[in-house]
Chain A
């Protein structure tokens, strides 16, 4: 009997596709009702907390940045501690063009920021992604440090340590200007960019390409053995991830109307990594939950304990590392499974 080459007859094929495992795969990309929650919350926030829209904008940008990291780290398993390299590249691309009066239109500026960050991601990825583990981690930090030092040294253009203040950003569609006192435009703009980026990432991770990235994360050597061009896939993923981080950085520069060296800082790269681990990596919404949890903690704990708020964050991280390897969403998923099992048993 032929195992693999037997011709498939129609009814049997339909039966196979009706198998629970097959159905789960066929339906995996379907939208679930709860996927509307973060967006409903974001719109609710806009109306409920008009005084906090600057905070909200920062949150949305952080979500986008964490989402870009999730693609590389959570899905493809690329261990990086240098993702601010691309955030900063995007921020400086927007900042330099605006500050020197070359280009101030925000939407096309973001596209340019994405392209420049993608170019840096592609070029560094070609070299970096030959390595793995600790070597890769160190090289990502090095890339970021080099870029930061370059930005520092080119102070004639970048303002060096002082950065580029008061960036002139043209109104969106020529109609909606950024107001530094009221962040309504900034918030809605960031939300729109995040939504479009999210839909792009969501499509990508559920695509066959996304599945192959998961395969690389789960077993790199086996991916070689099934004939996958592993390094090419990793470089493509890294490039896309860099482009998205560049968009986040560009947004940050536009909505704050300044750029400085903190955009390229190790602190920023570490924070986004913590956020992703806090929320849960490799699960799309970890970026949302992690960023919200982190910024809320920072905001409110810092008010109560201005000097020691990071202690609270540290304790939470220790708890997550010890008890829940996949962040807040990992805990949620585990509880949901247990509840489901108990319900099935009853």
Chain B
């Protein structure tokens, strides 16, 4: 049994009468490649928001490496090693790709509160950010404003900002969403090359992506964990097929 990196116990979140997340017990192993799937409205993004501290749970606990972080604010959780990307890009749109990553790296290395020397003197921050962009094959995009980059490359910058935090746990909320299918492989390649020791949880609708990437899959339906197992087990699970995979196949057929 591998070490548990991130864990939830009876995690619930109500919005008025709606129970968005319902008593979820979830374990993310260290170095995991874990996918979270489920129909729209299943509570996947709310669950991520609870893990990162954007939302506070109505009940239950969040543990990072055995330590209770339920009461910690979002920024503190980032310092403890939880990073995320967003389903819809949240970039510093007016800044260059390199500046986008520099903001994240400067925050991680603790340079950001410094007021009395130029940011340009932090060659370590700039060098590391440039290195990160190059490994994501974004070197030639470094000087461009991110708002001027094609969407697929913007998604990579989105990913780079999160990796720049050197997280232990990386939560990817539909990393390939909105990317033209011809470019999806760029994102997937980048995700597959992530350092082994990072535990990755990915929310994804595209089943090809899930089965290519994940070693473990959790299915959420109606805010609760519906099934969990290896991709093969999930694929073979008749109930999952009826509530989710069938639906996804139907959606794919229609859309």
Spell out A's residues near B (CB within 8 Å).
Answer: 1-6, 8, 12-13, 16-17, 19-22, 24-29, 203-204, 206-212, 214-215, 218-219, 221-230, 233
Contacts and interface: CB of A to CB of B under 8 A. Distances in A.
A6 B135 CA distance: 10
* 8 tightest A-B CB contacts, nearest first: A227-B78, A21-B143, A21-B142, A29-B118, A218-B92, A16-B130, A222-B90, A21-B98
Nearest to B159: A3
A215 B102 CA distance: 10
Contacts of A233: 113
Nearest to B129: A22
Nearest to A212: B112
Given A6-B135, A209-B114, A225-B52, A25 B102 contact: yes
B118 A207 contact: yes
B99 A209 contact: no
Interface stretch (B27-35, B120-128, B239-247): B120-128
B199 interface: no
Nearest to A211: B119
Chain A contact surface mostly: helix
Contacts of A29: 118-120
B161 to A, nearest CB: 6
A6 to B, nearest CB: 7
Contacts of A25: 98-99, 102, 119-120, 126
13 contacts: A4-B163, A21-B96, A22-B130, A207-B115, A207-B117, A208-B117, A208-B119, A212-B113, A221-B90, A222-B92, A225-B90, A227-B76, A228-B107
B163 A211 contact: no
A333 to B, nearest CB: 13
Contacts of B123: 17, 26
A218 B94 CA distance: 7
Given A25-B119, A211-B119, A227 B127 contact: no
Contact of A219 (B92, B113, B116, B126): B92
B107 A212 contact: yes
Contacts of A2: 195-196
B206 interface: no
Contact of B107 (A1, A3, A24, A226): A226
A56 B140 CA distance: 47
Contact of A203 (B115, B136, B196): B115
Interface in B134-192: 134-136, 139, 142-143, 161-166, 190
A219 B93 CA distance: 8
B104 A226 contact: yes
A210 B98 contact: no
B231 to A, nearest CB: 23
Contact of A228 (B75, B121, B195): B75
A218 B116 CA distance: 22
Nearest to A202: B118
Contacts of A223: 103
Contacts of A16: 126-127, 130-131, 134
A22 B193 contact: no
A340 to B, nearest CB: 14
Nearest to A225: B84
Given A28-B120, A227-B74, 5 more contacts: A20-B143, A25-B99, A29-B119, A225-B86, A233-B113
B140 to A, nearest CB: 9
A219 B99 CA distance: 13
A4 B114 contact: no
A22 B127 contact: yes
